[in-house]
Amino acid sequence: MKVRAAVLEEFGQPLAVQEVELADPKAGEVLVRLVACGVCHTDLYTASGADPSGYAPCVLGHEGAGVVEAVGPDVTLVAPGDHVVTLFAPECGKCVHCVSPRTNRCTAIRDQHGLGYLPDGTARFSRNGEEVRHFMGTSTFAEATVMPEIALAKVSPDAPLAGCAPFACGLSTGIGAALYTAQVAPGSTCVVFGCGLVGLGAVIGARLAGAERIVAIDLSEERLAEARRHGATDTRVAADDTVDWIRSETGGFGADYTFEATGNVAVMQQAVEAAREAWGLATMIGVAGKGETLDVVPRLLITGRRVTGSSFGGVKGRSQVPGLVDRWLAGEIDVDALVTDRVALESVNEAFEAMERQEGIRTVIEF
């Protein structure tokens, strides 16, 4: 079948919206008709050429939601008509990581996934007889895509799919970092550095976990206002004295939990330094630039602070994303406030430009 898609042809250049061929799903694969797709910073990061693992040509996009249109042989997890959220982090349910409660880092299809192919080592997209590779196993900047069934989360049909899209990456990443990676304790103090979608997700996750005090730090007053909307009890414009201020607000000790959601290594260092002596946990969610390193004074660790990373918020996609969507439907998460713009696929490059200007929270492409 022919579908319109946004193709990365050359790094550092605008995406080309064009018609490509999409082959039928093979064994264990599913054809999804996309209804909506979030425009995430990871897509921009790869398009810019900054990602050392990037490749072209490929169909970008990974934050999608849609309806199952067809399934290949041996598919048992979803059926035509199911509403699904795409998962760049699959969950096979069987590998050594999936059977452990300690991680969501499924190993089942990792090798080909990183090369831009489906598990059998081939692509379903093509153009003039030449393959066009997949992105993060998803490629949701397209009217339809083919994916492994283990990379789809079946969600309630009552949930509007435009609102489901952010759960495919940014929103789940932030919420999960608080609920599943850090496992925020009720009554605790949390500090979130950066109030884009991921940081706001961390604010929401800390609230859902029962944190008593949630401090949001950002350079933008508008984003700090959004943080207050979603549960921050305190907000502060980022400054050189942020760490000292956090310590002064916590009896000199620091926060029980800190979350870094900017990808800036200097801010990561602040998150470590602002974590509480004795038991503070600093969770790194943001993606740093190629070759950058985080400097940590060993004494900060010797005195009890811990530093951890979080991939997709520790969320086991097929098992836990549907529950997060249900919490939205129950009124616990204000997704409508997070989707700040809706555009057509042809406006994907303008959405990238708005992201670089830090306008809005999440732009969603609607098909």
Active-site entry in 29, 37, 41, 242: 41
Torsions phi, psi of 194, nearest 5? Answer: 100, 125
In this structure, what token pair is assigned to residue 46?
Answer: 């790869």
In this structure, what token pair is assigned to residue 204?
Answer: 């929401």
Active site residue 37: no
Contact status, residue 311 vs residue 331, Cβ threshold 8 Å: no
Active site residue 213: no
Active-site entry in 110, 213, 228, 247: 110
Active site residue 138: no
Active site residue 63: yes
Active-site entry in 29, 46, 62, 305: 62
Active-site entry in 29, 46, 63, 250: 63
Active site residue 106: yes
Active site residue 95: yes
> Packing angle between helix 348-356 and helix 41-48, nearest 10 degrees?
100
Active-site entry in 37, 40, 164, 190: 40
Active-site entry in 98, 164, 190, 195: 98
The one-letter code for the residue type at 230 is: H
In angstroms, the Cα distances linking 7 to 3, 58, 125, 161, 253 are: 12, 6, 10, 23, 49
Torsions phi, psi of 209, nearest 5? Answer: -80, -10
Active site residue 58: no
Active-site entry in 29, 46, 91, 106: 106
**23: exposed, middle or buried (Cβ count in 10 Å: 0-12, 13-18, 19+):** middle
Active site residue 190: no
Active-site entry in 29, 37, 42, 189: 42
Burial 210-234 (b: 16+ CB within 10 A, else e): ebebbbbbbebeebbebbeebbbbb
Active-site entry in 4, 92, 131, 213: 92
Active-site entry in 95, 236, 340, 350: 95
Active site residue 42: yes
Catalytic residues: 40-42, 62-63, 92, 95, 98, 106, 110, 169, 362
